[in-house]
């Protein structure tokens, strides 16, 4: 679904994710811990997540056509009882324009259908417009948190919002309504 598949992160994916963690635009939009960490420490942290932290943190690999890795999604603050988690993601630079929004949608779908998550908490730094415009971010946010993160030598403001099953249902209804309206306009033009 969505043209992007989600699979469990494996040890073979660590070098690709490490390169993403070190990419400058990614660093400015999430965290800069990869700047100060050695390759071995970054790999060890990802291995630890795979081997020991599955109950509280998971990493997923987002794949496009021909199983090419287009990015990664990871969930933290997992509350299995409440069926909630916080979702983060990173799309490889060469796929941001083409697969970014599709990858995020696929991750949300996977969390709902495969992990039975009912509430997903989203966080985006205010200046991060890689997948959202500044206007869309401001409209989406429910909580604005100044001084939330310190990245690339600067305090950053974050926006937080939740996505629930009702939100997804309403989004799908709006999308379907919009699709029908466009189809009707096309049919009306052809009839003339």
- Phi, psi angle pair for 24, to nearest 5°: -60, -40
Rounded to whole angstroms, the Cα distance separating 122 from 9 reads 20
Strand, coil or helix: 130? coil
pLDDT for 127 equals 65
pTM of the prediction? 0.78
CA dist list (Å): 137 to 12, 70, 96, 161: 34, 23, 17, 10
**d(C-alpha 4, C-alpha 25), whole Å:** 22
Top-confidence residue, 27 or 74: 74
d(CA 123, CA 39) in angstroms, rounded, equals 26
The per-residue pLDDT for range 49-82, each reduced to its tens digit, is 999 998 999 999 999 999 999 999 999 999 999 9
Per-residue model confidence (pLDDT) at position 1:
42
Q: Let me know if domain 5-164 sits in CATH 3.40.630.30.
A: yes
Higher pLDDT: 140 or 163? It is 163
Q: List the domain boundaries for the chain.
A: 5-164
Six-digit token pair at 85? 């988690």
Lowest-pLDDT range of 15-19, 85-89, 106-110, 131-135: 131-135
Would you say 166 and 112 are in contact if contact means Cβ atoms under 8 Å apart? no
């Amino acid at each position: 679904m969505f043209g992007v598949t989600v699979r469990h992160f494996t040890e073979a994916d660590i070098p690709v994710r490490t390169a993403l963690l070190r990419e400058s635009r990614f660093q400015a939009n999430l965290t800069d811990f990869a700047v100060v960490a050695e390759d071995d420490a970054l790999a060890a942290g990802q291995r630890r997540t795979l081997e020991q932290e599955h109950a509280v943190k998971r990493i997923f690999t987002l794949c496009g056509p021909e199983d090419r890795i287009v990015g990664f999604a990871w969930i933290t603050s997992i509350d299995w009882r409440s069926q909630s988690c916080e979702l983060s993601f990173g799309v490889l630079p060469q796929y941001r324009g083409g697969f970014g929004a599709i990858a995020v949608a696929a991750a949300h779908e996977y969390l709902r259908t495969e992990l039975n998550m009912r509430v997903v908490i989203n966080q985006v730094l205010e200046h991060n417009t890689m997948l959202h415009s500044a206007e869309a971010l401001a409209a989406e946010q429910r909580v604005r948190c100044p001084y939330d993160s310190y990245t690339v030598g600067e305090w950053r403001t974050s926006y937080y919002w939740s996505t629930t099953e009702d939100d997804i249902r309403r989004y799908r209804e709006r999308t379907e309504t919009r699709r029908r309206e466009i189809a009707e306009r096309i049919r009306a033009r052809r009839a003339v």
